[in-house]
Structure 1
Amino acid sequence: MEIRTTTQLANFLQFCIDKKSHTKGKLLHAHILRTGLFADTFLSNRLIELYHKCGNLIAAHRVFDKMPHRNLFSWHAMLSAFCKTGDIDEAHKLFVKMPERNSVSWNTLISALVHNGSDQKALNLYHDMNQSGFLPTNFTLASVLSACGALKDLNSGCTSHAFATKIGLDKNIYVGNALLAMYAKCGHTYNTLKAFEDLPEVNEVSFTTMMGALGETDHIEDAFHMFQKMHRIGIKIDAISMSSILGVCARSGIHGLGQQFHGLIIRLGLEKDLHLSNSLLDMYAKYGDMDSAEMVFNNLLKVSVVSWNVMIGGYGQTFKIKKSIECMERMQRFGLEPDEVTYINMLTACLKSGNVETAHEIFDKMTSPSLSSWNALLSGYSQIGKHKETVKLFRNMQFCNVKGDRTTFAVVFSSCASLGLLKGGKQVHASSVKFHVDDDIYVASGLIGMYSKCEKINLAKCIFDGMNGQDQDIVCWNSMMVGLSLNNLDNEALMLFKNLLETEMIPTQFSYATVLSSCTKLSSLSHGRQIHARVIKHEIVNDVVVGSALIDMYSKCGDVNDARLVFDKMPKKNTITWNEMIHGYAQNGQGEKGVSLFKEMINNSCDNLKPDAITFIAVLTACSHSGLIDYGIKIFNSMFQEHGIEPLSDHYTCVIDLLGRDGRFDEVEGILGNMPCVNDPILWEVLLSCCRVHGNVKLAKRAAEELFRINPCNSTPYVLLANMYSSLGRWDDVRKIRELMVENKAVKNPGYSWVENKDGVREFNVDDKFRMVDKFDERYCLSG
């Protein structure tokens, strides 16, 4: 009879567990206590499970504490209860107390740690599990690989992959998909593709992961091909896979393609899925097509906070700040409270529109701004060039006892660098040490940039050299190369690039652009050619940034023909590319070709390019060097009239040089009377030089007086005016100029030249013997 009663009670309890019937379960609990059956471990375990399923963790814990006899299932039931309710600390305490454990015990806690974002703790526990001799299950490995991906810990991920292969779980679909996600999050597209190819079977999760990974790394066409393959082999397309491909569409910027996928969603009957609808909203918002986004939004059966946030962010991206504010007000009228993302989107929208006051009002309304909100405001200030406000906000953040993270410090270091604020930068550095984030590679790159721009390159070197080789990423190397180049240590920048090639890291487009800039500054054509060979080898020669840098290097090293070859072979060009080529012709005395290329650019409708301020500097220089005076004036007049570009001091300098070379000083004086940039020393130096050539003493004297006013210690105007007087035999005026030069303590620096030969680059002054700048030995060989 007792066995029958226990079985019946167990069945009744299971019914209550399935139905989550808390009240009936409590009645059964009372009956078990009254009949003296509580000592039955099986029934007590069912009671723990009942209370856990009904959300009464206190009652479950009370049952567990009063159990006279516990078995492994009792401990697992309580452990699972703590894990599923997110009480990780109590779960860990219980785990430590367990008299025995099996793989389920380890797997339950590891999975819970990953689910709650405690990825590093999960990896540490997994290590302990291996040390204890327990083999992981496919679920354990899937959780561990997920943690590796979240931490971008490629080494641990590769180790786990190797172990999965060793115990034969690498072909498991759960482990295989987790491997794909891990490599994707670590940015290793090749390994992601290899893991995908190695899977014996694939499902919708595999394809969705691949599409996301390819989209994130800008392999847009490959992502679309993956979707086509998924559809072709008959794998079901669900809302999640459609959401992933919409994300790729948003990154591609191809509006028509996104509309086609929208049509497919309707055809598959998936338009009612809220998550997918939010993805559609996000895609149209990122296109800047807020009309289509509004249409989707207005047809939503259910509107979530996420939906409102996407609309607020979309209006902010298109600088419709009033619409963003209206959205937030409507959201609140519908009974939905703004969350952290809402406020961050509003902050970003206000700052993008230059509405700093409204941004501050929104920030001040937040009762307890999170770190993400502080970072959003800091980043917004920094991006619109309000660097002083960025530093002040960081100081307020310290007063509020908010601990900054890697993003905080990277943004503040960038602002300190832009301000040349060395003292403030050092104080922020000290704060990063205090919060133990100074060794983060993201922060270290910011530090290197800050010290480099503040002309403390030795401190930047100390930061870089102090990092462990494994901790240095390509961003750190790039920051250090840029720092060396900024401080005119281009030989060292070349050497650092050589050291980079000896590591396992692959140089980026930015790496090549930086080292090509160093070759340009050194006028080292031989090293520039070696870099070009590497660019071809690594198949990034078509990159628009690298291509533009190559054109600049060849032009400034005097090989304009090779510059044009690079230009002609580039499949995609931007305004910078055209500017470099036009300027290259101007620098190398082929102004007519520069002007011809400018006309081609203006008439070129394929790339939809518009000339900018730099374009006009380049073409005006080309006109000046070719004697195309009238055409140059015509171009100058068309700047604002036809292209809406306000002339800057550099443009006025080009026009004065253009007219001055031809001796048309009446027109020059007309421009001088109307130009807004009277304090630009280069402009007056150009005018003075032209006056010297044509012997225009009156205008030369005016130009020199302006230069004396701007900077009395600059020796250039004294020397130019004195040379002009001496060529005319006016020796008394020469003496007066030299006396004035002594009186104003203007000292002329000696000129120098350098020449490159097989032994290196040699630098020499007019009164100095040869001295080696830096010897290029075999260490500087960049080919291979």
Structure 2
Amino acid sequence: MEIRTTTQLANFLQICIDKKSHKNGKLLHAHILRTGLFSDTFLSNRLIELYHKCGRLIKARRVFDKMPHKNLFSWHAMLSAFCKMGDINEAHQLFDKMPERNSVSWNTLISALVHNGSDQKALNLYQKMNQSGFLPTNFTLASVLSACGALKHLTCGCSCHAFATKIGLDNNIYVGNALLAMYAKCGHIQNAVNTFENLPEVNEVSFTTMMGALGETDQINEAFHMFQSMHRIGIQIDAISMSSILGVCARSENNQLGQQFHGLTIRLGIERDLHLSNSLLDMYSKYGDMNSADMVFKNLPEVSVVSWNVMIGGYGQKHEIKKAIECMKSMQRFGLEPDEVTYINMLTACLKSGDIETAHEVFDKMSCPNISSWNALLSGYSQSGKHKETVKLFRRMQFCNVKGDRTTFAVVFSSCASTGLLKGGREIHADSIKIHIDDDLYVASGLIGMYSKCNRINLAKCIFDRINNQNQDQDIVCWNSMMVGLSLNNLDNESFTLFKNLLETKMTPTQFTYATILTSCTKLSSLSHGRQIHAHILKHEKMNQDVVVLSALINMYSKCGDVNDARIVFDKMPTRNTITWNEMIHGYAQNGQGEKGVDLYKQMIKTLKPDAITFIAVLTACSHSGLIDYGVKIFNSMVTDHGVEPLSDHYTCVIDSLGRDGRFDEIEGILDNMDCMNDPIVWEVLLSSCRLHGNVKLGRRAGEELFRLDPCNPAPYVLLANMFSCLERWDDVREIRELMVENKAVKNPGYSWIQHQDGIREFGVDEGYCVSG
């Protein structure tokens, strides 16, 4: 009778477990206690399972603690309860107390650790499992490989792959799919492809993983071929696999292909799946096709927070900030509260539109902004030139006890550099040392840039040397920053030496490296150095086709006086952008071949829209070659034909051109309508022309404007005095000299340099001795 009663109670408890009937389960628990059957281990195990299924973890633990006789199933039931409820600490403590364990025990805790993001702890536990002599199951290996992928721990992943092969689990579908995902997350796509091809059996998860991995690495066509293979061999295409291929479409520029896959979802009858619909929204948003995205959105059977977030992000990408704000308001009207992603998308939308104030308002609404949100706002302030506000925001971030990361410090160091804020930069450097992030290569690069721009090149060198000594894996970004810093501080010889040291390492120069060192060659006026760099560029096919590098080469050859070689580089370029054309036009202007510069400008405007720099280049060409009327014509066409507003540099070119020809009436007409009255270069150019032609009236006006703008600059005093002396107006010369002394405007001695076999040597012109070598 007792066995019959126990069996009946067990059956009733199972019904309560299946239906999650907590109330009826409590009644059965009371009956078990009343009838003295609690000592039955089987019934007690069922009670633990009941309370676990009903979410009553404390009651399950009480039952477990009071059990007079526990078996392995009892421990597993309680361990499983803690793991599934996400109480990993209690699960780990219980695991440590278990009198005996089997592979299920280890697998349960390892899987729970991975599920809760404790990937490193999962790998540590897996190592202990192996040391204890337990063989992993296919589920264990799948969890461990997932942890390796999350940590991008390729070495551990390969070790697991080898062990799976050794025990014959590498052909298991779960392990195989986990291997695919691990290699994909570690960026080793070819290994993933090899694993996929060697799997004896594949399913929709295998194909979905591969399509996602290929799409992530921009192997778009290969991902589409994978989808075709999946369809061809008859594997069912479900909402998840279709979402994966839509993610690939979002990375492709072929929006027609995306529309075809949209049509396939309708034909398969899965278009109403919410996850799939959100993928469609994301695809159209990334295409910038918000009309199609809006059509999909309005036909959604159910709208989630994710759906609204995609729409907000899409409008943000198109800089349609008003629509993004309206989306968030509509979302709240429908009873859905914005989450962290909503606010980040709104924040990004505001920043992309340049609306920093609204971005800050959105940021202030966030209950607990994460580091990504802080970094986004910091970057927004920094990129908009509000560098002091960037530093203030960083201080507020510290006050809120938010720990900055490598991006945070890099942005703040950039702002300190832009404003020459050395004191603040040093304080933030100290903050980076406190949290042990100053050794990060990305942060170190920012520090080098900050100290270089604040004219503390020795401190920049110290950081560079320390980083290189501490890090075996050297980073090209730090080398680039150091070369730029040396060049900024007119140490271009040292910059070139550093480049030679770079070539002795295993690192490959980037386009920025070559552009930087070519700038140093240009500043040194060293054609021989420039030719050496060109020879290195020719050895690298990728660099020899890079538009940035080749534009820098054109600039170097032009400024070193070899405009013919500059044109050879220009003609051989596979692609050219506006910068390239500008450099070549300006090269002709600098080398007295203005007619060729103007001809090149005429060719350019047939295919490309000129910018402000283009007009500076071609107006300079006109000025230097005496093409005065044509220069005035181009100047007048800037706004009317090309929509480019003249800047001070454009006025300078035209005034210089007219001044050389003595056409001062036209210059006065330009001055009366000019917006840049406070630009000293304009007045200096005018004063030089007045001196050349003896125009005292306009020359005196130019001089007075220059005295007003910078009374300590000796150049206008000298020019004006020279003009008066040429006209033998000695009283005026004396007046200018006295004014120069009164305003303490001191003329500095000039220097010259020559290229010698030992390097570049500088000479003081007035003193006649060697200054440096």
- TMscore range, shorter length: 0.7 to 0.9
Q: Closer, same or farther in 2 for the Cα pair 1:315/1:715, shift >3 Å? A: same
1:90 partnered with 2:90: yes
- The Cα of 1:148 is off from its aligned counterpart by 4.3
Letter in 1 for 2:520: S
Residue equivalent to 2:634: 635
Distance in 2 (alpha carbons) for counterparts of 1:495 and 1:163: 49
Asked if 2 retains the 8 angstrom alpha-carbon contact of 1:441 and 1:471, the reply is no
Q: Residues 340 and 366 of structure 2 are in contact (CA less than 8 Å); yes or no, is this contact kept in structure 1? A: no
Query: For residue 77 of structure 1, what is the aligned residue in structure 2?
Result: 77
Equivalent of residue 592 in structure 1, options 571, 574, 595: 595
CA distance in 2 between counterparts of 1:526 and 1:240 reads 60
Following the alignment from structure 2 to structure 1, what is the Cα–Cα distance between the partners of residues 51 and 24?
11
- What's 1:645 paired with? 644
The residue type equivalent to 1:382 in the other structure is S
1:490 partner letter: D
CA distance in 1, matches of 2:208, 2:434: 42
Tell me by how many angstroms 1:616 deviates: 1.4
Q: 1:543-569: CA deviations, max 9, x gaps?
A: 333333333333333443443344344
What residue in structure 1 maps to residue 387 of structure 2? 387
Per the TM alignment, residue 583 of structure 1 is displaced from its structure 2 partner at its CA by 2.1
Q: CA shift at 1:10, angstroms?
A: 5.5
Q: 1:93 to 1:595 in 2, by over 3 A?
A: farther
The CA distance in 1 between the partners of 2:197 and 2:744, in whole Å, is 74
Once the two structures are TM-superposed, the CA of residue 305 in structure 1 deviates from its matched residue by: 0.4
Match of 1:426? 426
CA-CA distance at 1:704 after TM superposition: 3.3
Q: 1:98-113 maps to which residues of 2 (within 5 A)?
A: 98-113=98-113
Once the two structures are overlaid, the 10-residue window that deviates more, 658-667 or 227-236, is 227-236
User: What CA deviation, in whole Å up to 9, does each residue of 1:376-432 have, x standing for no partner?
Assistant: 433333333333332222333333333434443333333333322222222333333
Structure 1 residue 502: Cα displacement: 4.8
CA distance change for structure 1 residues 329 and 599 in 2, over 3 Å: closer, same or farther? Answer: same
Answer with 418-427 or 103-112: which moved more.
103-112
Distance change in 2, residues 1:140/1:295 (3 Å):
same
**Paired AA for residue 399 in structure 1:** F
| Offset, 1:73 | 4.0
Structure 1 residues 127 and 739: CA distance shift in structure 2, 3 A: farther
**Amino acid in the other structure paired with 2:486:** L
* 1:444 maps to 2:444: yes
Q: CA deviation at 1:651?
A: 1.0
Give the match for residue 378 of structure 2: 378
Equivalent pair of 1:453/1:486 in contact (CA under 8 Å): yes
CA deviation digits over 1:153-184, x for unaligned, max 9?
A: 55655666676677776666555554554454
The verdict on how the C-alpha distance between 1:403 and 1:522 changes in structure 2, with shifts beyond 3 A counting, is same
Q: Which moved more, 1:128-137 or 1:711-720?
A: 128-137
- Say whether residues 1:513 and 2:512 are aligned partners: no
| Residue 675 of structure 2 is aligned to residue 676 of structure 1 | yes
Residue by residue over 1:59-81, the C-alpha shift from the partner in whole angstroms, topping out at 9 and shown as x without a partner, is 22223222334344433333332
Greater Cα shift, 667-676 or 187-196: 187-196
Match of 2:330 in 1: 330
AA partner of residue 518 (structure 1): S
Higher normalized contact order (CA 8 Å, seq sep 6+, divided by chain length): 1
What per-residue deviation string (whole Å, max 9, x for no partner) do you get for residues 32-75 of structure 1? 54555544545544443343233222222223222334344433
Per the TM alignment, residue 513 of structure 1 is displaced from its structure 2 partner at its CA by: 3.2
Indicate if the aligned counterparts of 2:139 and 2:174 stay in contact, CA closer than 8 A. yes
Distance 1:493 1:121, change over 3 A: farther
Aligned to 1:551, which of 549, 554, 561?
554
1:515 is paired with a residue of what secondary structure? helix
Contact 1:176 1:199 in 2 (8 A): yes
Distance 1:557 1:387 in 2: 36
Aligned sequence identity (%): 82
Counterpart of 1:542? 545
Give the 3 Å change call, closer, same or farther, for CA 754–153 of structure 1 in structure 2.
farther
3-state SS, counterpart of residue 541 of structure 1: helix
Provide the C-alpha distance between the structure 1 equivalents of 2:497 and 2:155, rounded to a whole number of angstroms.
Answer: 28
Please name the residue that 2:396 is paired with.
396
How many Å separate the matches in 2 of 1:202 and 1:760?
Answer: 66
Counterpart residue type for residue 673 of structure 1: D
Does structure 2 conserve the Cα–Cα contact (< 8 Å) formed by 1:351 and 1:384? no
Residues in 2 aligned to 1:444 and 1:754: alpha-carbon distance in whole angstroms: 34
Q: How many Å separate the matches in 1 of 2:754 and 2:175?
A: 60
Q: In the alignment, which residue of structure 1 is the partner of 2:292? A: 292
Q: Do structure 1's residue 760 and structure 2's residue 759 form an aligned pair? A: yes
Contact between 2:356 and 2:380, CA under 8 Å: does it hold in 1? Answer: no
Please show how residues 244-393 of structure 1 align to structure 2 within 5 Å. Answer: 244-393=244-393
Larger radius of gyration: 2
How far does residue 360 in structure 1 lie from its aligned partner after superposition?
A: 3.8
SS at match of 1:603: coil
Does 2:481 match 1:482?
no
Distance in 1 (CA, whole Å) between partners of 2:360 and 2:184 is: 37
Partner of 2:616: 617
| 2: CA distance, partners of 1:431 / 1:129 | 41
TM-score, length of structure 1 as denominator length: 0.86
* 2-structure distance, mates of 1:191, 1:513: 35
Q: In structure 2, give the amino acid aligned to 1:603.
A: K
Distance of aligned partners of 1:738 and 1:286 in 2 relative to their CA distance in 1, 3 Å threshold: same
Aligned-partner residue type, residue 98 of structure 1: M
Total equivalences in the alignment: 769
- Aligned counterpart, 1:778: none
- Deviation (angstroms), 1:288: 2.6
- Offset at 1:648? 0.8
SS of residue paired to 2:414: helix
List aligned pairs for 1:599-748, cutoff 5 A: 599-604=602-607, 609-724=608-723, 737-738=736-737, 740-748=739-747
SS of 1:611 mapped into structure 2: coil
Rounded Cα–Cα distance in structure 1 between residues aligned with 2:98 and 2:696:
98
Corresponding residue for residue 53 of structure 1: 53
The two structures have a TM-score, normalised by structure 2, of: 0.87
Structure 1 unaligned residues grouped into runs of 5+: 774-784
Q: Matches of 1:2 and 1:502 in 2, distance apart?
A: 86
Equivalent positions of 1:188-227 (< 5 A) are: 203-221=203-221, 223-224=223-224, 226-227=226-227
Matched residue, 1:574: 577
Amino acid at match of 1:425: G
* CA distance, structure 2, for counterparts of residue 596 and residue 39 of structure 1: 101
Q: Distance in 1 between matches of 2:194 and 2:462?
A: 39
Partner secondary structure for residue 260 of structure 1 = helix
Letter in 2 for 1:479: S
Q: Which amino acid in 1 is paired with 2:54? A: C
Unaligned runs of 5+ in 2: none
